[in-house]
Chain A
Amino acid sequence: MPVFELKNVNYLYLNSIPALNDISLSIEQGEQVAVLGANGSGKSTLLKLLDGLIFSSSGVAKAFGKILTENMLDGDGGDFPQFFRKKVGLIFQNSEAQLFCPTVLDEIKFGPLQLDISKEDINQRVNDVMEMLNIENLKDRAPYTLSGGEKKKVAIASVLSINPDILLLDEPTNGLDPRTQRWLVELLIELRKTGKTIIIATHDLDIVEEVSERAVVFSEDHRIVADGKAQAILNDTELLLKVNLIHEHYHRHKEILHRHRHAHSSEHNHNHSD
């Protein structure tokens, strides 16, 4: 059974502006999917829909075989809301909105506390997750005093402490310096090994292949125009051009996996026709 199954889903922002247009999508347990699209193509909306924060205007969105509706995730859903929130975690694009607790420690504890996890377990998880992300020294700091990279780490910690099977990440590398971006990619590779389902909305094509096998491409009119192997999609320059994800001068370093220090600024003086 797929963890998420969307059939002809539409979403209208403020009941008039379309943000998702006839989306059909199925995601299996343990898959890593990159959701690609230009700014404003509906990636964030899709993640919020998958996290049960907004609900489709028409069409059917199912998670774990149950139709996601406002009632289902409110009091009427019995144990389902609790189950769903434990299973699915969303890391928001804007860390500032996600960090609302007075200290970093409270922030990381917040999720597990709401989900009735035992006190010993919570303390264990909080310590482990802080150690893993190397943020123990931020423990007593107020989130608003942190730098952008630190905020992102705390936001990730606050979701990982719930130990969700499905991780949704909205533009995770945005606004991070290259070193923190690299750190994040490596974290995602590690998490991938644990068998978690990871869905990343991004327009950072450089990380796609490393963090996902499958890619879903949104066009600017909020439809899915491609769904397939990440590698194949990244090589389909025509498609990427059409959805405004790349510019004419985009080039890839073949399909060789390589790692070395490099910067592009000085290399751009060469002729692209050769």
Chain B
Amino acid sequence: MKIPDWLSESAPCTCCTISVGGKKNFVEKTLVEIACMMERSIFSEKYVSAKGFLQSIDPRVKLITILLLIITISFIHKTEIILGIYALTLVFAYLSKVELFFFIKRVWLFIPIFSGMVAFPAIFNIFTPGEPLITLLQFNRTIHFWIFEFTEISITRAGVLGALLFISRVATSVSLIVLLTLTTRWTDVMKSLRTLGVPQIFILVLSMTYQYIFLLIRVVQEMHLAKKSRTIRTNRTGEGIEKEQNWVASRIGTVLMKSYKMSDEIHSAMVSRGFHGEIKSHGTFKIRNIDRVWTIFSLAFITGVIWLNYLV
């Protein structure tokens, strides 16, 4: 084997003149975000394995009672009651050894963005007529706009209350779901879906998808690093972005092919171990006294809430 001459020459050292720094490109940013997402899923693992109250309840019982509670919340139209339930989620978060600040942040970070945007127009008299709290604009004639007619733009009492009800409903429902996912292993949530009559094959596909996402993320990260180790970022930014986009597009194709090939292997591995189109599994969950107490408490609570809402 003869090593070509150029391979034995080392690059001239220009250490002193090398510029350092610069912005991260978008591929890198995206990958960092994805890595963060992975870390967050490991982070939640911390709460799943904590010895808290909700962690000790059978996942199936937890899933069903929490779903029932969420359905109940959507029927309730008294904001105080919903806020009461929200306060209760905080208590359960505390009992389940979830850091309250982390829990509140996780819920409220997204609510202004998603439901806030939906609820915002509802506070105005255009959509919710009623007693004005603040008048923003006064017109001296009736304005016709599409199907709406109005003489002023103001924030109404009914509008604000409606928006509050909506947001508290969303926040409480999201809190309950976050509590469920923080205190239950993803795999147990998946298995519990079986008790709700979700077909086994569907659950298998879902849980496999979830874990192979991690694997494929790693493939993508490695591809990016392999490329990064062999390239220098160009300083002509416009061209750089375009090149990067082209590269990403072609890599998406590669990842698709890789994952396709892998799915073939996985199928073989399943067949090799006796899979023939129908998955068999044993439930490993056991109902204990704490689960019975929790079920009775939840049902009593739901009845109480409905009674407060409709009868009092």
Does any Cβ of A come within 8 Å of B211's Cβ?
A: yes
Interface of A is mostly: helix
- Please measure, in the bound complex, the distance between the C-alpha atom of A82 and the C-alpha atom of B271, giving whole angstroms: 11
Partner pick for B281 among A48, A96, A98, A113, CB 8 A cutoff? A113
> In the complex, how many angstroms separate the beta carbon of B268 from the nearest chain A beta carbon?
5
Residues of chain B contacted by A102 (CB below 8 angstroms)? 186-187, 190, 207, 210-211
Which of chain A's residues 74-109 have a Cβ closer than 8 Å to chain B?
Answer: 74-75, 81-82, 85-86, 89-90, 92, 94, 96-98, 100, 102-103, 106, 109
Partner pick for A97 among B190, B269, B282, CB 8 A cutoff? B269
> In the complex, how many angstroms separate the beta carbon of B183 from the nearest chain A beta carbon?
15
B272 and A85 contacting across the interface, CB-CB below 8 Å: yes
Does any Cβ of A come within 8 Å of B215's Cβ?
A: yes
A162 and B214 contacting across the interface, CB-CB below 8 Å: no
A114 and B280 contacting across the interface, CB-CB below 8 Å: yes
Does any Cβ of A come within 8 Å of B286's Cβ?
A: no
A51 and B274 contacting across the interface, CB-CB below 8 Å: no
Does any Cβ of A come within 8 Å of B88's Cβ?
A: no
Residue of B nearest to A85 (CB): B274
- Please measure, in the bound complex, the distance between the C-alpha atom of A75 and the C-alpha atom of B278, giving whole angstroms: 12
B269 and A92 contacting across the interface, CB-CB below 8 Å: yes
Does any Cβ of A come within 8 Å of B275's Cβ?
A: yes
Residue of B nearest to A96 (CB): B215
Given contacts A102-B187, A102-B211, A114-B280, whether A159 and B273 have CB atoms under 8 Å apart is yes
A119 and B282 contacting across the interface, CB-CB below 8 Å: yes
Does any Cβ of B come within 8 Å of A234's Cβ?
A: no
With an 8 Å Cβ cutoff, the count of chain B residues facing the other chain is 28
> In the complex, how many angstroms separate the beta carbon of B289 from the nearest chain A beta carbon?
24
Q: Can you list, as one digit per residue, whether each of A136-159 has a CB less than 8 Å from chain B (1) or not (0)?
A: 000010111100000000000011
Residue of B nearest to A119 (CB): B282
Does any Cβ of A come within 8 Å of B276's Cβ?
A: yes
Residue of A nearest to B280 (CB): A113
> In the complex, how many angstroms separate the beta carbon of A256 from the nearest chain B beta carbon?
32
- Please measure, in the bound complex, the distance between the C-alpha atom of A48 and the C-alpha atom of B271, giving whole angstroms: 11
Does any Cβ of B come within 8 Å of A110's Cβ?
A: yes
Residues of chain A contacted by B42 (CB below 8 angstroms)? 145
Partner pick for A90 among B207, B208, B215, B272, CB 8 A cutoff? B272
> In the complex, how many angstroms separate the beta carbon of A125 from the nearest chain B beta carbon?
13
A143 and B265 contacting across the interface, CB-CB below 8 Å: no
Does any Cβ of A come within 8 Å of B256's Cβ?
A: no
Residues of chain B contacted by A75 (CB below 8 angstroms)? 276
B271 and A110 contacting across the interface, CB-CB below 8 Å: no
Residues of chain A contacted by B215 (CB below 8 angstroms)? 96, 144
- Please measure, in the bound complex, the distance between the C-alpha atom of A114 and the C-alpha atom of B282, giving whole angstroms: 11
> In the complex, how many angstroms separate the beta carbon of B263 from the nearest chain A beta carbon?
9
Residues of chain B contacted by A144 (CB below 8 angstroms)? 211-212, 214-215
> In the complex, how many angstroms separate the beta carbon of B100 from the nearest chain A beta carbon?
27
- Please measure, in the bound complex, the distance between the C-alpha atom of A116 and the C-alpha atom of B275, giving whole angstroms: 11
A100 and B269 contacting across the interface, CB-CB below 8 Å: yes
Residues of chain A contacted by B296 (CB below 8 angstroms)? none
Residue of A nearest to B273 (CB): A111
- Please measure, in the bound complex, the distance between the C-alpha atom of A197 and the C-alpha atom of B190, giving whole angstroms: 38
Q: Can you list, as one digit per residue, whether each of A160-189 has a CB less than 8 Å from chain B (1) or not (0)?
A: 001000000000000000000000000000
Residues of chain B contacted by A82 (CB below 8 angstroms)? 274
- Which of the listed residues B208, B269, B271, B276 has the most CB atoms from chain A within 10 Å of its own CB? B269
Residues of chain B contacted by A132 (CB below 8 angstroms)? none
Residue of B nearest to A98 (CB): B269
> In the complex, how many angstroms separate the beta carbon of A49 from the nearest chain B beta carbon?
12
A162 and B266 contacting across the interface, CB-CB below 8 Å: no
Closest 8 pairs (CB-CB, A-B)? A114-B274, A97-B265, A102-B187, A111-B273, A85-B274, A98-B269, A115-B274, A53-B268
Q: Other CB < 8 Å A-B pairs besides A53-B272, A85-B274, 18 of them?
A: A48-B268, A74-B276, A82-B274, A92-B268, A92-B269, A92-B272, A94-B262, A97-B262, A97-B268, A97-B269, A98-B266, A100-B212, A102-B190, A102-B207, A106-B187, A110-B270, A113-B280, A162-B274
